[in-house]
Amino acid sequence: MRSPRELSVLALAGGLAMALLAGCGQSSSGSPGAAASTQAVSTHQVTDSTGASVTVPNTIHRIADSWEAHNEVVTMLGGGNKIVATVLKPSSVPWLYTVDPALNKAPTVFTDTTVNTEKLVQTRPDVLFTDDALQTAAKTSELGIPTVQLGFQTYQGLENVVNITADVLGPAAGAQARKYNSYLNSKLAAVSAVTSKIPEAQRPRVLHIYSLDPLVVDGTHTMINDWITAAGGRNAAQVVGQTRPVSIEQVVQWNPDVIILASSAFDAADTGPQTVAKLTSDPAWDQLAAVRDHRVYINPTGGWHWDRYGIEEALQIQWAAKTLHPELFRNLNMVAETKSFYSKFLHYQLTDEQAKRILAGQNPT
């Protein structure tokens, strides 16, 4: 039934498979651990957001970061010029590249879900920070890159991520982390002290729009909900979770008092005002209280989107409080506050003009 030649072909193919199998078996037993540099230098243990214990070198020279918002955390903690591989592109966060021009030298080796492993290895990172939702950690750990998985959903979680990152980067970063966390807490406390006295009926119902087409909003149990509440508002969106698709009918029913547009909601090349103007003239929208009362605002965007999960949440609560309740926060000067934040935490002196552009959700000139 089978010719001898066919049998020999099968045997050859089988032999090849066996040889490769043997190779795999070996590597799984003798995987060469951490990066070569760490064998010579001292290391310490860090517990990441998943609870895993990761061994990292005491001195970090080269950082890979596959979580977009976290690149700014690294920059704040003094590691900005050590980033050698990133997920960012200058066009995605132009302000961070303005504040930390060294980022321009770091190649983009990640997408939001994948990593070009060969390019990542060529950059010889001492540590990799990654979003704990990603599935790439198993692969990068196997390559001997200490992989710190991070994630947060609350202000407390944000503090933890800042602290874990500081644990990796060293003592100088620790001091900066404490400074940031105390700033975040003091601002949260100061704003809440004013807004907690506002009766429920006077809290405007705020709709945070992530995207207009398709219509996507942020619901409860999110950080967006947290800053709306802290700033003295109520989330108008009666859905659970971030970035939920909803219908315009639902929005009409919620009839929000205030609408805040994320920069992701802008029409293609628009910087915001045109999108706001379009809403005002759209019959589906112009009957909403927020549109009628001209209470449609554009969310500020700096090194990361203020409204989303990043360190500039500390500024967001203040901006949102002043936006929702201007009469209660007359003394809060957001231009000055933004400049002071950038100077203190990102070591960059913004001009008034730059601070105003950030507050208007516009890119650097």
Partner 1 sequence: VSTAVSHEVSAGPVSPPRWRRLPVLSVLVVVLLVSVAVSFSVGVTAYSPELIVRDLAAHLTGHPVTVSRVDDVTIWLIRMPRIFAAVLIGAALAAAGSAYQALFRNPMVSPDLLGASGGAGVGASLGILLSWSIIEVQLVAFAFGLAAVVVTYAVGTAVGRGRESTLTLVLTGIVVASLCSAMISLTKYVADPDNKLPEITFWLLGGLDTVTIRTSLLPIIIPIVAGMIVLLVLRWKLNVLSFGDEEAASMGVNPQVVKSFVIAGATLMTAASVSAAGMVGWVGLVIPHAARALVGPDTRRALPASALLGAIFLLGVDDLVRSVFTTEVPLGILTAMVGAPFFLLMLARGRRTWT
Interaction site with partner 1 (CB under 8 A): 1-2, 5-6, 8-10, 12-13, 16-17, 19-24, 26-28, 30-32, 35-36, 107-119, 121-122, 124, 131, 133-136, 138-139, 142-144, 216, 241-243, 245
| Nearest to partner 1 of 198, 239 (CB atom) | 239
Instruction: Give the whole-angstrom CA distance, residue 44 versus residue 36.
Output: 15
| Nearest to partner 1 of 36, 102 (CB atom) | 36
| Nearest to partner 1 of 108, 363 (CB atom) | 108
For residue 88, the minimal CB distance to partner 1 (Å) is 12
| Nearest to partner 1 of 10, 41 (CB atom) | 10
Chain mean position to CA 185: 19
For residue 186, the minimal CB distance to partner 1 (Å) is 29
**Both tokens assigned to 232:** 């003295």
| Nearest to partner 1 of 32, 90 (CB atom) | 32
| Nearest to partner 1 of 122, 343 (CB atom) | 122
Which of 91, 40, 35, 90 lies closest to 63 in space, CA to CA?
35
| Nearest to partner 1 of 67, 342 (CB atom) | 67
| Nearest to partner 1 of 112, 352 (CB atom) | 112
H-state helical runs in the chain: 4-29, 36-40, 70-76, 94-99, 117-122, 137-142, 155-169, 171-195, 223-230, 248-254, 273-281, 289-292, 313-324, 334-346, 352-359
Given a contact cutoff of 8 angstroms between Cβ atoms, the answer to whether 259 and 297 are in contact is yes
Q: How many residues does the chain have?
A: 365
For residue 147, the minimal CB distance to partner 1 (Å) is 12
Instruction: State how far the alpha carbon of 167 is from the alpha carbons of 77, 183, 312, in Å.
Output: 10, 19, 21
The helix/strand count (H/E) of the chain reads as 15, 12
For residue 16, the minimal CB distance to partner 1 (Å) is 7
| Nearest to partner 1 of 210, 342 (CB atom) | 210
**Both tokens assigned to 8:** 């020999």
- Whose tokens are 């936006």? That residue is 323
For residue 261, the minimal CB distance to partner 1 (Å) is 17
Q: At what angle do helices 313-324 and 171-195 cross, to 10 degrees?
A: 20
Cβ neighbours for 223, distance < 8 A, ≥ 6 positions apart: 153, 154, 155, 158, 242, 308, 309, 313
b (16+ CB within 10 A) / e for 190-228? ebbeebeebeeeebbbbbbbbebeebbbbbbebbbbbbb
| Nearest to partner 1 of 142, 352 (CB atom) | 142
For residue 108, the minimal CB distance to partner 1 (Å) is 7
**Both tokens assigned to 172:** 């100088």
Please provide the distance, in angstroms rounded to a whole number, between the alpha carbons at the two ends of the chain: 76
b (16+ CB within 10 A) / e for 9-26? eeeeeeeeeeeeeeeeee
For residue 140, the minimal CB distance to partner 1 (Å) is 9
For residue 337, the minimal CB distance to partner 1 (Å) is 27
For residue 121, the minimal CB distance to partner 1 (Å) is 5
For residue 145, the minimal CB distance to partner 1 (Å) is 9
